[in-house]
Amino acid sequence: MTRYGLDMKSWRDALNAEQQADVDRILDSSLNVARNHLSHASEFMTFALMTDATGRVLEMSADDALKKKHLDAKALIAQTVTQLRQMAAISRCSAIVSNTRIASLKSDAIEVRIEHKAGAALMVLLPYTRARFTGALTFGDLKLYSHTAEVWV
């Protein structure tokens, strides 16, 4: 269980303790970085995190050339997946973090697509609202979904 209180027991059985720690660490780091971005701006550019062979979390940002092209979200995520695939040989776990909208909840959300080379692939959504006048952020409950592997396929 992460410090955000999300019960991920269902997929944990397939991973050993070190692999579970990789996923927990990258989720915590992803949400911390995204929340920090949101505290300074109304949204953030898609970014990626990966763990290296030692388990250290590294942040990857989009190539500056991509930022200038004003790619749509799907194209930017596809390019990020390509970059993570290129780094897959030296990485154990990856996360793609983007700002999204949950139509059913009428809420914005931080979307984190996490994948571990051992086979776990999941998507976590953290809904949030921003107060109209103060700009204060309120975060909802994490939502966990299975996801299709994109990096280690």
Q: What is the pTM of this model?
A: 0.87
Q: Give residue 132's pLDDT band: very low, low, confident or very high (50, 70, 90).
A: confident
Least confident of 12-16, 24-28, 29-33, 147-151: 12-16
The rounded distance, in Å, linking the Cα atoms of 102 and 109 is: 7
- What's the burial of 13, exposed, middle or buried (CB within 10 Å: 0-12/13-18/19+)? exposed
Q: Is the per-residue pLDDT at 126 higher than 50?
A: yes
Structure tokens at 73: 């979200």
Report how far apart the first and last C-alpha atoms of the chain are (Å, whole number).
26
Q: What is the pLDDT of residue 129?
A: 92
Q: Give residue 1's pLDDT band: very low, low, confident or very high (50, 70, 90).
A: very low
Residue bearing tokens 């139509």: 103
Q: What is the pLDDT of residue 95?
A: 97
Residues 49-75 as b/e (b if ≥16 CB within 10 A, e otherwise) read bbbeeeeebeebebeeebeeeeeeeee
